[in-house]
Amino acid sequence: MAVSQSAVIIGATGQTGRHVLQNLLASPHFTRVGEYGRRLTPKDQITTGSDKLEQKVIDFEKLQESGLSQGNWDVVFITLGTTKANAGSAEAFEKIDREYVINAAKAARNPDSTTQQRIVYLSSTGANSTSSFLYPRSKGLTEEGLANIGYSETIVFRPGFLAGTQRKDFRLAESVFGKISGLLSHVSSSLEIQVSTLGRAIYLAGKLGTENLPSAVNATQEVKGDAKRTVINNAGALKLAESKD
């Protein structure tokens, strides 16, 4: 890929996505950045890189009108996701968490299949398309769906507990587990990660690509049929975030 690149992020108003966007806007490597989504980052919250930012509200039910493919983006970041509680039902959860993600990725794919273009997706630890549980099954199926679209490379992150979030709603289970994982994170690097740290790691993966990831990240390759994806777990994300930009 070229020395300078363009990038688009879908899901930039989320807990991790906002940090990915901040890194993209602060980076001289990315000379053009797009933020597409149902909601956009308020202008007064953008402190750097506003001159290279393109924002557009899109309807995930009408992605053919989104103009995503016209951006010719070098790197596509997707940090879009939800919970069953917020979605209202299992069906609505899967629609947002999987259908919207895969369809947006398809819309952002350059129509010229010979163009080098990578996609970076925020998944979750335990993602497994054959799981009997809704959340990990949806994440696993989404990963597989993205890997089958035809991007030059697909990179997925499977972080543990996301610390440092600023949610408007109180989540008791999350609060309790956060305290436990916070204590255990001192003896294991597989359980917890700050969303700001994860955002930096995701940004760096998009910039570097699989071939240039530091060996300490211990990224793995998962192959199903003709589709391949690079997987970075919680410990790998922590190591990657330590890398120099």
Q: For residue 118, what is the enclosing H or E element? A: strand 118-122
Residue 219: both structure tokens together: 């990224």
Residue showing tokens 């917020």: 86
Active-site position among 36, 139, 203, 239:
139
Where does residue 121 fall: left (phi above 0), alpha (psi -120 to 50 degrees), or beta otherwise?
A: beta
Give the relative orientation of helices 134-147 and 101-108 as an angle to the nearest 10 degrees.
10
Output the CA–CA distances (angstroms, integers) from residue 212 to 1, 197, 206, 207, in the order listed: 12, 19, 10, 9
Please, are residues 198 and 237 in contact by the beta-carbon 8 Å criterion? yes
| Annotated catalytic residue 56 | no
In the 8-state DSSP scheme, what is residue 212?
G
Contacts with 175 (C-beta within 8 Å, 6 or more apart), sequence order: none
Active-site position among 36, 135, 151, 203:
135
Residue 187: both structure tokens together: 């003896």
What DSSP line would sit under 15-77, residue for residue? TTHHHHHHHHHH-SSEEEEEEEESS---GGG--S-GGGEEEEE--TT-GGGS-GGGG--SEEE
| Annotated catalytic residue 100 | no
Residues with catalytic roles: 135, 139
